[in-house]
Amino acid sequence: MNYKIPLLLLLMCMGSGQVRAQQEETNIVLITLDGFRWQELFTGADSLLVANSDYVQDTTDLKRLFWKKSSGERRKALLPFIWNEVPAMGQIYGNRSLGNKVDLTNSMWFSYPGYNEILTGRADDEKITSNDIVPNPNRTILEIANEDQRYQGKVAAFGSWDVFPYIINEERSRVPVNAGFDLAHGDSLTDREQFLNELQPKVPSPWGSVRLDAFTHHFALEEMKKNHPKLTYIAYGETDDFAHDGDYGAYLKSAQTTDMFIKELWDYTQSDSVYKDNTLFLITSDHGRGSVPLDTWRSHGSDVLGAGSVWLIAFGKGITAKGEIRLKEQLYSNQIVPTLLEILGLPIDASIIKGEVFDFTER
Ligand SMILES: [Zn+2]
């Protein structure tokens, strides 16, 4: 009898040790697409916009690329990686026509408040009320991880929008943020980083505060190859700006390119000995956009109906393959941080973070 208790204790210790070791092993790639609507994610090109000459220069060409009879075909034409590969390995939330909903808890429905919520796990409608370049008083998960010795120096952020160094509070958090028109810095730049540094100033962006996503993407991919951050945040920005411009063709083509970028990141992680079978991808958006009246597809904010509705995609380490989630349920963007903190084995400050951890297991 006597040996049974120590053996049981030993097994319990081994068990929790294994869980802990698994948690520590998970690398995370968190990705956002600025203002990309759930409508296009789940149904592809919008019938009211794709052939509308108010928003599309060449409607014949755009229809050739993205118009198919069924919404199932249209979404595969728009986002081939997400709809051909992710359902067999991950989970896709936010199809409101099935009753599966993901929403922001902040009431602003524009970018800084959205990213603050996604990255800190809490809406802050008192302090985060504009997109101004104000250092975030709140701590992001990137900062929390960077303060832990297991992740220190293994956290990196990349964004197309030049406000990210403030949202992440680069100065206080010491999380390196390559955003806006930043170049790669350091002594050991790869050939590609040197080339990107050369190219970026020579390829003008249509916008003053947002660079083209190809630069953000390749700076991020180079860093992953070179230093293998355990927590990488990549914020693509084009979709929002093309939508504000009222250019539906560019909005769709940008979304399709981002889908290809995500596939490239995923395929890279699965070909790399550090990241293979060990990396979780989580993808979402900082806000939605309108749909009624039609012109509100271009905009968002608290006065735009539906702009608080978003979506969430998860695949990789620890995520069971459930495909498109058809369960009637309501999820919120403030659940992302507690979920990732738990996966990383970092403490969740319950006085700040109220969102429930997502259940990615079989239900
Ligand atoms: Zn916007």
Average pLDDT over residues 330-352: 97
Q: How far is the CA of 349 from the centre of ligand 1 (A)?
A: 31
Answer yes or no: is pLDDT of 8 > 60: no
- Give the pLDDT band of residue 1 (cuts 50, 70, 90): very low
- Give the pLDDT band of residue 53 (cuts 50, 70, 90): very high
Average pLDDT over residues 121-133: 98
Q: How far is the CA of 253 from the centre of ligand 1 (A)?
A: 17
Report the C-alpha gap between 144 and 120 in whole angstroms.
9
Q: How far is the CA of 89 from the centre of ligand 1 (A)?
A: 31
* pLDDT for residue 361: 85
Answer yes or no: is pLDDT of 58 > 60: yes
Q: How far is the CA of 137 from the centre of ligand 1 (A)?
A: 22
Q: How far is the CA of 63 from the centre of ligand 1 (A)?
A: 25
What values do phi and psi take at 100, rounded to 5? -95, 115
CA-based torsion, 228, 229, 230, 234: positive or negative = negative
Q: How far is the CA of 149 from the centre of ligand 1 (A)?
A: 36
Q: How far is the CA of 36 from the centre of ligand 1 (A)?
A: 10
* pLDDT for residue 25: 83
- Give the pLDDT band of residue 20 (cuts 50, 70, 90): very low
**Residue that the structure tokens 């979404």 belong to:** 75
pLDDT digits 0-9 by tens, 203-259: 999 999 999 999 999 999 999 999 999 999 999 999 999 999 999 999 999 999 999
The token pair that represents 341 in the structure block = 């903190």
* pLDDT for residue 69: 96
As a whole number of Å, the end-to-end CA separation of the chain is 38
Q: How far is the CA of 241 from the centre of ligand 1 (A)?
A: 6
Tell me, what amino acid is at 147? E
* pLDDT for residue 233: 99
Q: How far is the CA of 22 from the centre of ligand 1 (A)?
A: 38
Residue 287: closest CA among 339, 235, 247: 235
Q: How far is the CA of 25 from the centre of ligand 1 (A)?
A: 36
Entry pTM: 0.93
Whole-number percent of the chain with pLDDT over 90: 92
Q: How far is the CA of 69 from the centre of ligand 1 (A)?
A: 30
* pLDDT for residue 247: 98
Report the C-alpha gap between 67 and 44 in whole angstroms.
8
Q: How far is the CA of 181 from the centre of ligand 1 (A)?
A: 18
pLDDT digits 0-9 by tens, 149-187: 999 999 999 999 999 999 999 999 999 999 999 999 998
Q: How far is the CA of 301 from the centre of ligand 1 (A)?
A: 8
pLDDT digits 0-9 by tens, 141-154: 999 999 999 999 99
Enumerate the H helices of the chain as residue ranges.
Answer: 4-25, 38-43, 59-66, 71-78, 80-84, 111-120, 141-146, 164-167, 170-173, 191-199, 213-227, 238-244, 248-271, 336-344
Measured at the CA of 203, the angle between CA 61 and CA 29, to 5 degrees, comes to 80
Q: How far is the CA of 109 from the centre of ligand 1 (A)?
A: 9
Q: How far is the CA of 350 from the centre of ligand 1 (A)?
A: 31
User: How much is the mean pLDDT over the chain?
Assistant: 94
Q: How far is the CA of 287 from the centre of ligand 1 (A)?
A: 8
The token pair that represents 91 in the structure block = 């989970």
Q: How far is the CA of 261 from the centre of ligand 1 (A)?
A: 21
- Give the pLDDT band of residue 363 (cuts 50, 70, 90): low
